[in-house]
Amino acid sequence: MRMNYFMGAILTFAFPILDWTFCPMNNSIKIYLLSFICFIAGTSEFVIVGVLDKIAESIQISVSAAGQLITVFAITAAIGTPIAIYKMRTLDQRKVLIISLITFSIGSFMMVIAPNYYLLLVARVIMALGMGVFNVMCFIVAAKLAPLNKRASAIATVTVGYNAALIVGLPIGRIVTNAFGWQAIFWGTSISAILFFFILAKFIPSFSPDGAVPFRKQIGLLRKPNILLSLGMSFFWILGYAILYTYITPFLNENSLIHEELLSVAFLGFGIATLIGNKSGGFLGDKFGVPQTILVSMVCNLTLLISLSLFIGITAYLTIAILMLWAISAWLPGPLFRFSIMSLSDESPGVILSLYNSIIQFGFALGAGLGGIEINRFTTLYLGWTAAGLVFISLILTFTYHQKSKAIA
């Protein structure tokens, strides 16, 4: 019955979209459309974090095993995406968008019908390939849809869609699962992808393929010490975040006084706080300087992780308050890390951004894997302390980067 209501809601949303396809659409709307589809596809990566316990229970596996669904997704996106894009480098870019969206829809549908853990892993691999290629192509196509003097703005618009998925994926997952079951999430993403396939085919123009950048040139950038340092800062930052974020549901269930009804509220507050942090980063970076803002935010990140580990069992509302403050501090340097790494390579910003995205995905994958090992051997409470240790490494690298920036200035 719950699923019937959910499917009804999807179809109610679908008919206006299909009707919309008969209306004219300018390039600005097309860019926002790409951003919104990025949000839908990106949500599929992060939504699973809030429902690991429900998935584990439904297919009778441990929470740590369920966490490897995130690891597999991130590793596939990190390694498979550049390979898939390279293999399709001769295809029309609209065709690549459509192929990747269909691939993503197939993977989402497999998540619904998979009868066991191993087919769920296969489904996540297929989803990751589709989402990874689609997201990268969205940046490329959005830049081509925009006038030359507005291409940066177009890329920023698409970025907002992906960042929004990271921010609201966790609370959306919990709310939808409590109402309809976790499979409803992937029914939604699969059907949405099919609907958007028709819209893209109708409205996005064909674009000739660009020349592919050799892998040797991409790897060569890693020989530059300043780029390696910046990537190291980002890697340990996201690794510290991912090791706790991936298992935030069992972490709160086992150690805090937050009950199930309040958990969705806590996740919603966490998502809002993440948005505040993400939005504030750019403003504070412009006002006080990028290295200084990153350094202060990392100190706050470390302090709040330690506070969360120490005070998580006192009261539910104190835990939620610390959790929200941690989300703000953790994501405040997010856009600044991306800006820093892009500014280090004027010749190949697209290549360096691709490397950065792969490093972030590897960080998520390793965080989910290490977290799963840790909760199998110890209690979930140790996740907070491990995250703090990893953030401390990022803080040391950030301080080094800050000192180098001052020396250059």
pLDDT (tens digit per residue) in 116-160: 999 999 999 999 999 888 888 887 788 788 887 776 567 667 777
Amino acid, single-letter form, for residue 196: F
- Position 311 scores a pLDDT of 93
- Position 153 scores a pLDDT of 67
- Position 260 scores a pLDDT of 78
Residue 2 has pLDDT above 70, yes or no: no
- Position 5 scores a pLDDT of 46
What average pLDDT does this structure show over 70-75? Answer: 88
DSSP string, 69-95: HHHHHHHHHHHHHHHHHHHTTTS-HHH
Q: Which of 373, 65, 378, 53 is nearest to 243 (CA)?
A: 373
- Position 216 scores a pLDDT of 67
Other Cβ atoms closer than 10 A to 355: 20
* The two structure tokens encoding residue 273: 């706080």
- Position 22 scores a pLDDT of 45
CB burial class (10 A; 0-12, 13-18, 19+) of residue 95?
A: middle
Could you name the CATH architecture of 1-212? Up-down Bundle (1.20)
Other Cβ atoms closer than 10 A to 84: 20
Q: Is 216 helix (H, G, I), strand (E, B) or coil?
A: helix
Length of the chain: 409
Q: Which of 17, 28, 32, 27 is nearest to 196 (CA)?
A: 17
Q: What separation in angstroms does the CA of 374 have from each of 48, 327, 389?
A: 19, 22, 14
Residue pair 277/331 in contact (Cβ under 8 Å)? The answer is yes
Q: Which residues contact 249 (CB under 8 A, 6 or more apart)?
A: 49, 50, 51, 52, 53, 63, 174, 263
Residue pair 137/93 in contact (Cβ under 8 Å)? The answer is yes
pLDDT (tens digit per residue) in 264-323: 788 888 888 887 887 787 778 878 888 888 899 999 999 999 999 999 989 999 999 999
Give the Cα separation of 230 and 233 in Å (integer).
5
- Position 90 scores a pLDDT of 80
Q: What separation in angstroms does the CA of 148 have from each of 136, 145, 211?
A: 19, 9, 19
Provide the terminal-to-terminal Cα distance of the chain, rounded to the nearest Å: 64
- Position 12 scores a pLDDT of 42
Domain boundaries, given as residue ranges, for the chain? 1-212, 215-409
In whole angstroms, how large is the CA radius of gyration of the chain? 21
Residue 171 has pLDDT above 50, yes or no: yes
Q: Output the CA torsion sign for 275, 390, 70, 247.
A: negative
- Position 307 scores a pLDDT of 95
* The two structure tokens encoding residue 236: 């340990």
Q: Which of 315, 306, 280 is nearest to 294 (CA)?
A: 280
Residue pair 18/195 in contact (Cβ under 8 Å)? The answer is yes
Ranges 104-118, 320-334, 344-358: which has the least confidence: 344-358
CATH classification of 215-409 is 3.40.1280.10, yes or no? no
Across 11-25, 267-281, 362-376, which has the greatest mean pLDDT? Answer: 362-376
Residue 8 has pLDDT above 70, yes or no: no
Residue 6 has pLDDT above 50, yes or no: no
- Position 237 scores a pLDDT of 95
Ranges 107-111, 290-294, 383-387, 393-397: which has the least confidence: 290-294
- Position 108 scores a pLDDT of 92
Amino acid, single-letter form, for residue 114: A
The single-letter DSSP state of residue 345 is: -
pLDDT (tens digit per residue) in 208-252: 766 556 666 666 667 777 888 888 999 999 999 999 988 898 899
What share of the chain has pLDDT > 90, as a percent?
25
Give the Cα separation of 382 and 308 in Å (integer).
11
pLDDT (tens digit per residue) in 174-207: 788 888 888 998 999 899 899 888 888 888 887 7
Other Cβ atoms closer than 10 A to 392: 17
